[in-house]
Chains A and B, each alone.
Chain A
Amino acid sequence: MHFVTYTQSTLVYVMTELKYAEAVRAALRAELATDERVVVLGQEVGALGGVFTTTKGLQREFGPERVLDTPISEAAIAGWAVGAAMAGMRPVVEIMFMDFVMLAMDQIVNGAAKLRYMSNGQLSVPLVVRMPAGAGTRHGPQHSQQLESWFAHVPGLIVAMPSRAVDVYTMLRQAIRSDDPVVFVESKYLYFRESGEIDESVLPELPVTQTARVVREGTDLTVVTAGRMVQRVVEAARDLHESDGIACEIIDLRYLWPLDTGAIARSVARTSKLAVVHEAVQTFGWGGEIASWVAEYCLADLDGPIVRIGSQRAPVPFAEVLENAVVPTEALIKEKLRELATY
């Protein structure tokens, strides 16, 4: 297969405070400028700049051949990107809301995820599928789901789920450079509520070592979480420390796959207690995988039950009071963590 060589970037890099959504845009911009094979495809990503502004200005800067408005055809967009990726391109597909990815599921699961394997390594699908997920923005049941557990179950996919702007920037650039298909789960709640200092002059390291991050060190219990819930857990842990003197160690997984089991095991060995917090529905959610992995391999380290905190088994309702009864709130997380700490 033929590859276009990397071109010299003309971007001026500076250290900037960027919001989560701006970090998405900055990462896309950096990769569009660096590699001609990178294209951005999605509904309203062009003139409009994406419904969450994550592609704002990119079409103007890179042209309609690189940043392409698509029809409302998720399945064809995904399949098209799989084909283009097989021919050497590096497409980044935006699915407007993660809830819409069901329409593209076949091409992601039966195509992108399997092609390297079933072609015996002859084909690569360097594809990124970005999707804003989760509740908290009052979009209602078909626009608020957190479905990363489904993708984490599929061999062949990398599942990235950043919780902060700095990670968004690095992880998205790495995802675009990955030769494996990456499902990139963004938090639309955090788009304009989370920001960080981003050094755009630092190039992402390759190959990527997908590791978890210790957000806060503690000795009483380990909390494994990812995405939007990281912020909630941090706040709950801070309160618990102030009010009860409980020291939580918080691990932000960043990637559901590859899963950094080492980071989890090391932490549980220190704290002897584990809670998993995620926004995805608790039953059959990824917290169950973490819990069973720890039960299987770290049982001797445990000194208490493993606690899972996830969303109730219900669609995400519109009314705030109902949503708060379904999605884990800071109060609920605090209560459950306190119970575990005092077990």
Chain B
Amino acid sequence: MSELDTAGNGLRLYRSMVIIREVELHIERLHRAGRMAGSFHSSVGQEAAAVGVCEVLRPDDLVSSTHRGHGHALAKGVTVGGLLAELFGLANGVSGGRGGSMHLHHPDSGFLGQNAIVAGGMPWAAGAAWGARQQGRDIIGVSFFGDGAASQGLFYETLRLAKLWNSPCLFVCENNGLAHSMPAERLFGDPGTHCRLVAEHGIKAEVVDGSDVLSVYKVAHSLVGYVRTGYPAFLEVTVGRARAHSLNDPEYEYRDRDSGKNWLEENDPISSLRKGLPDLSEEFDQIDLEVSTLISHETTRVESGDINQANDALRDVYTVDSGVRND
């Protein structure tokens, strides 16, 4: 056993993944019960990408994310309460109830935030990491995005610029096989294609199995170390999409009704980790219990939090209230 797959690491990774999984399932139930509004994009099944990468980051490393970003936020240090309050639209939410599910921002945790425009967060992380280096700060950026981002011009533009200016940024492509309903296989071919494509640009690129969080962690550890020396790198994490694109997306129109569920049964990173570390089952059970308690406690706590006031709706459009109004 190398130092990277010690029992301590296993428990830490497990705990982070379970928090994400249980929060996502909890949000699903809250929506079904009519206690949350809007939509959300579940990251169930993709936890290993967020956790495996974020566990090797420092608190002030800067992360950008996507519309499917609850996992990234939680893994980078956004609290369960802050996230839930945000999804309830409350003033104590991580974005003050102004952002909702797709616009979580928490720079104090190094979470620049989600960008709900596909590929839009890539230059944020790369530019922020570069800007921080310009100011002598020893941090890196990490941008999470999906396979769909590779269909955007910004994907290539940002990678070229990151290479040209040596931005210390790790680009993490979560290839879940579907850009909404468009199969990645049809567009790009087999998993790993994104990695090969980027490697051809002269950027260090790796592919890793997202059902194995220890592998993700190990590869991320090595790539993050490389990125800290002042270069961009790319990591393709092969995952699957266990849920529909978004809450009420009629996915049965474009794929078999049970395909997400079936994929998760065979590739669940959480149960895989449990199976791989059988000696820790008691500790894992204990974590399950703690997380469940945490979530119900936090839900009760934040739900009674501050309701947003209508007269606060125009705050922070600008730094200084310009005094120009609609009247």
Closest CB in chain B relative to A83 CB, distance in Å: 3
In the assembled complex, B267 has its CB within 8 A of some CB on chain A: no
Task: Given A1-B107, A84-B131, A115-B105, decide whether A124 and B319 contact each other with a Cβ distance below 8 A.
Answer: yes
In the assembled complex, B132 has its CB within 8 A of some CB on chain A: yes
Separation of A84 and B62 alpha carbons in the complex (Å): 11
Interface centre among A85, A120, A123 (most CB of B within 10 A): A120
Task: Given A73-B160, A120-B95, decide whether A68 and B165 contact each other with a Cβ distance below 8 A.
Answer: yes
In the assembled complex, A326 has its CB within 8 A of some CB on chain B: no
Task: Given A79-B123, A80-B127, A87-B128, decide whether A259 and B324 contact each other with a Cβ distance below 8 A.
Answer: yes
Task: Given A82-B124, A107-B123, A118-B99, decide whether A123 and B105 contact each other with a Cβ distance below 8 A.
Answer: yes
Q: Which residues of A contact B165 (CB under 8 A)?
A: 68
In the complex the two chains form, is B128's CB within 8 Å of A76's CB? no
Binary interface encoding of chain B residues 85-129 relative to chain A, with 1 for a CB under 8 A from any of its CBs, else 0: 000000001011111000101111000110101001011111111
In the assembled complex, B64 has its CB within 8 A of some CB on chain A: yes
In the complex the two chains form, is B107's CB within 8 Å of A122's CB? yes
In the assembled complex, B253 has its CB within 8 A of some CB on chain A: no
Contact of A89 among B125, B134, B136 (CB under 8 A): B134
Q: Which residues of B contact A1 (CB under 8 A)?
A: 107
Q: Which residues of A contact B161 (CB under 8 A)?
A: 70-71, 73, 76-77, 80
Q: Which residues of A contact B320 (CB under 8 A)?
A: 207
In the complex the two chains form, is A258's CB within 8 Å of B322's CB? yes
Separation of A4 and B133 alpha carbons in the complex (Å): 12
In the assembled complex, B254 has its CB within 8 A of some CB on chain A: no
Separation of A82 and B124 alpha carbons in the complex (Å): 6
Contact of A116 among B62, B106, B317 (CB under 8 A): B317
Separation of A117 and B319 alpha carbons in the complex (Å): 9
In the assembled complex, B137 has its CB within 8 A of some CB on chain A: yes
Residues of A within 8 Å of B, CB-based: how many?
Answer: 55
**How many A-B contacts at CB < 8 Å in the complex?**
163
Closest CB in chain B relative to A119 CB, distance in Å: 4
Binary interface encoding of chain A residues 154-186 relative to chain B, with 1 for a CB under 8 A from any of its CBs, else 0: 011010000000000000000000111000000
Contact residues, A239-291 vs B (CB, 8 A) = 257-259, 261
In the assembled complex, A111 has its CB within 8 A of some CB on chain B: yes
In the assembled complex, A10 has its CB within 8 A of some CB on chain B: no
Contact of B105 among A68, A71, A83, A122 (CB under 8 A): A122
Closest CB in chain B relative to A18 CB, distance in Å: 29
Residues of B within 8 Å of A, CB-based: how many?
Answer: 52
In the assembled complex, B141 has its CB within 8 A of some CB on chain A: yes
In the complex the two chains form, is A122's CB within 8 Å of B131's CB? no
Contact of B98 among A75, A87, A120 (CB under 8 A): A120
In the assembled complex, A316 has its CB within 8 A of some CB on chain B: no
In the assembled complex, A88 has its CB within 8 A of some CB on chain B: yes
In the assembled complex, B238 has its CB within 8 A of some CB on chain A: no
Contact residues, A29-77 vs B (CB, 8 A) = 36-37, 39, 65, 68, 70-71, 73, 75-77
In the assembled complex, B252 has its CB within 8 A of some CB on chain A: no
Closest CB in chain A relative to B83 CB, distance in Å: 14
Separation of A285 and B309 alpha carbons in the complex (Å): 34
Closest CB in chain A relative to B105 CB, distance in Å: 4
In the complex the two chains form, is B157's CB within 8 Å of A116's CB? no
Q: Which residues of B contact A3 (CB under 8 A)?
A: 135
Binary interface encoding of chain A residues 138-161 relative to chain B, with 1 for a CB under 8 A from any of its CBs, else 0: 000000000000000001101000
Contact of B127 among A37, A65, A79, A121 (CB under 8 A): A79
Task: Given A83-B128, A119-B99, decide whether A2 and B123 contact each other with a Cβ distance below 8 A.
Answer: no
In the complex the two chains form, is B154's CB within 8 Å of A118's CB? no
Task: Given A121-B315, A156-B318, decide whether A76 and B113 contact each other with a Cβ distance below 8 A.
Answer: no
Separation of A36 and B135 alpha carbons in the complex (Å): 8
Closest CB in chain B relative to A35 CB, distance in Å: 11
In the complex the two chains form, is A87's CB within 8 Å of B131's CB? yes
Separation of A1 and B137 alpha carbons in the complex (Å): 10
In the complex the two chains form, is B62's CB within 8 Å of A119's CB? no
In the assembled complex, A86 has its CB within 8 A of some CB on chain B: yes
In the complex the two chains form, is B134's CB within 8 Å of A65's CB? yes
Separation of A256 and B102 alpha carbons in the complex (Å): 31
7 A-B residue pairs with Cβ-Cβ distance under 8 Å, sorted by A, are A37-B135, A82-B124, A83-B126, A86-B127, A89-B135, A180-B318, A207-B320
Given contacts A75-B154, A79-B127, A122-B106, 16 further A-B contacts (CB under 8 A): A1-B107, A2-B135, A39-B134, A71-B157, A79-B123, A80-B126, A82-B127, A83-B131, A84-B130, A85-B131, A89-B131, A89-B134, A115-B113, A119-B105, A121-B96, A121-B315
List of 6 A-B pairs having minimum Cβ-Cβ separation, nearest first? A83-B127, A79-B123, A120-B96, A84-B131, A76-B157, A80-B127
